Amino acid sequence: MAESWATLGIDLLVEPTGPGLRRGLTDALREAVRSGRLAPGTRLPSSRALAADLGIARNTVADAYADLVAEGWLTARQGSGTRVVEREVVPPSGTAPHPRALTRPAYDLRPGSPDLASFPRAEWLKAARRGLTAAPYQALGYGDPRGRPELRAALAGYLSRARGVRADPERIVVCAGFAHGLKLLGTVLRARGARTVAVESYGLDVHRRILTASGLHTTPLPFDRLGTDPGGLADAEAVLLTPAHQFPMGVPLHRDRRTAVADWARRTGGLVLEDDYDGEFRYDRQPVGALQGLDPDRVVYLGTASKSLAPGLRLAWMVLPPGLAEEAAAAKGGVDPCGVLDQLTLAEFLTSGAYDRHVRATRLRYRRRRDALVAAVAARAPEARVTGIAAGLHVLLRLPPGTEQSVVQAAHWRGLALHGLARYTHPDAPAEPVDALVVGYGTPPDHAWSGALDALCAVLPG
């Protein structure tokens, strides 16, 4: 029986285009590899089978495969057939692949992620073993919706020591990432009758959407050289802020404004939601302590493992004012959606000192990257200005007016994923738009870092 797609076990959707079958098939396959539709290592059908599927001569397919092996897109080995090469594909310099081709970028400098390759796997596994071994069997039940007591106690110790948070384990609620915590708070605020939450002019739209989905209206506060201006808080019942390190502008909230926010909350009964997403990473001076320390009765402190460890853990924590912890835990729906084993592991990771060791080691590596980034931009792209460098895993790269979109587009064509400031700007922000890039230097693994930096410098206006 002739081999066909039905008996081969390998389906390949490919549509040769353009004049000439060999050229059309070569182009279509190259495009499929470059776009990531055919992942590295994917085995292709034999030339005989694909020829039968497409109704073309076997030699045409064999020639197209041979062309792509010669170009470095495919490998052919006796016994294992023809496969897509096992590496990320960087488009040759000087060529401008079709924008659609770059669904899987060669380099990634988007903010939001730490270097996932440096996740402390061995230490985490040790902590998992110890945490589970020491836990009573009751720990594996439904448990307290606020989260495991071991983790809440460990967090209370760490947060008061390292972040100046006034933390009582009874008022800590573990959540599945900051986003989950914000959702719970949105539910609580709405149930308490709140209608409006003030947010910063710059921030993540996903967080605004979470509040909107809870039935709350978001209104942007102005931003100036002292950071977010709390002057416009009058109509809000709550405010969401990133006081230690404004995301993404990178500045701390000025001390007068920290006091003004705490005063507003005390005066009006308003609630401050403090997003301390990357408080562990500060390079040039002592960390800015948590705003919550000023008034633990009016500030909800939110921290996350997404920058210090990995976002995939989906582990975060809230320290809440009296009364609110029960409401937030109830908003979880009675059962804690956060897995017990990860909570026990993080508790052990914190109390054993592994968390501090990991943060200190990564802080040093990120600091070196930041220094390299600042030096490279100064040397190779003097028209761009790097700001917000004292902390965190990203910087703001200010660009000449009117150039943000074209720089992001040029990066896209080169296989470099990059975000402009526009996507982090509240649609109703009162300020004039600023042209800038939000460069996440924590994202690439070590082996891709210098390539990513080169790609960035290549697209910046010189």
Ligand X SMILES: Cc1ncc(COP(=O)(O)O)c(C=O)c1O
d(CA 15, CA 28): 6
d(CA 46, CA 10): 9
The nearer residue to ligand X, 16 or 442, going by C-beta atoms, is: 442
Q: Least distance (Å) from ligand X to the CB of residue 278?
A: 7
Q: 129 forms bridges with which residues in the sheet?
A: none
The nearer residue to ligand X, 73 or 301, going by C-beta atoms, is: 301
Q: Least distance (Å) from ligand X to the CB of residue 317?
A: 10
Q: Least distance (Å) from ligand X to the CB of residue 1?
A: 53
The nearer residue to ligand X, 101 or 318, going by C-beta atoms, is: 318
The nearer residue to ligand X, 16 or 105, going by C-beta atoms, is: 105
The closest alpha carbon to 199, from 241, 252, 255, 254, belongs to 241
| Pairing of β 172-175 and β 238-241 | unpaired
Residue 434's φ and ψ, nearest 5 degrees, are -110, 135
The nearer residue to ligand X, 179 or 395, going by C-beta atoms, is: 179
d(CA 60, CA 62): 5
d(CA 207, CA 183): 9
Q: Which residues contact 344 (CB under 8 A, 6 or more apart)?
A: 128, 131, 132, 135, 139, 148, 150, 151
d(CA 63, CA 47): 9
The nearer residue to ligand X, 177 or 227, going by C-beta atoms, is: 177
**Burial track 17-35 (b if 16+ CB lie within 10 A, e otherwise):** eeeebbbbbbbbbbbbbbb
Q: Least distance (Å) from ligand X to the CB of residue 206?
A: 8
Cβ-count burial of 255 within 10 angstroms (0-12 exposed, 13-18 middle, 19+ buried)?
Answer: exposed
The nearer residue to ligand X, 178 or 264, going by C-beta atoms, is: 178
Amino acid (1-letter code) at residue 427: P
Q: Least distance (Å) from ligand X to the CB of residue 372?
A: 22
d(CA 341, CA 94): 50
- Binding residues (CB under 6 A) for ligand X: these are 112, 177-179, 204, 242, 247, 275, 277, 304, 306, 311, 316
The nearer residue to ligand X, 74 or 197, going by C-beta atoms, is: 197
Q: Least distance (Å) from ligand X to the CB of residue 288?
A: 15
Q: Which residues contact 427 (CB under 8 A, 6 or more apart)?
A: none
Q: Least distance (Å) from ligand X to the CB of residue 181?
A: 8
Q: How many CB atoms lie within 10 A of CB 108?
A: 18
Q: Least distance (Å) from ligand X to the CB of residue 273?
A: 11
Of how many residues is the chain composed? 462
Q: Least distance (Å) from ligand X to the CB of residue 129?
A: 25
Q: What is the DSSP letter of 431?
A: S
d(CA 308, CA 112): 11
Q: What is the DSSP letter of 48?
A: H
Q: Which residues contact 211 (CB under 8 A, 6 or more apart)?
A: 182, 186, 197, 199, 218, 240
Here the contacts of 169-173 (C-beta below 8 Å, separation 24 or greater) are: 170/325, 171/319, 171/320, 171/321, 171/322, 171/324, 171/325, 172/146, 172/147, 172/317, 172/318, 172/319, 172/320, 172/325, 173/145, 173/146, 173/147, 173/317, 173/318, 173/320, 173/325, 173/328, 173/329, 173/332
The nearer residue to ligand X, 131 or 311, going by C-beta atoms, is: 311
The nearer residue to ligand X, 204 or 216, going by C-beta atoms, is: 204
Q: Least distance (Å) from ligand X to the CB of residue 24?
A: 43
Q: Least distance (Å) from ligand X to the CB of residue 245?
A: 9
Q: Least distance (Å) from ligand X to the CB of residue 114?
A: 9
The nearer residue to ligand X, 187 or 306, going by C-beta atoms, is: 306
The nearer residue to ligand X, 25 or 176, going by C-beta atoms, is: 176
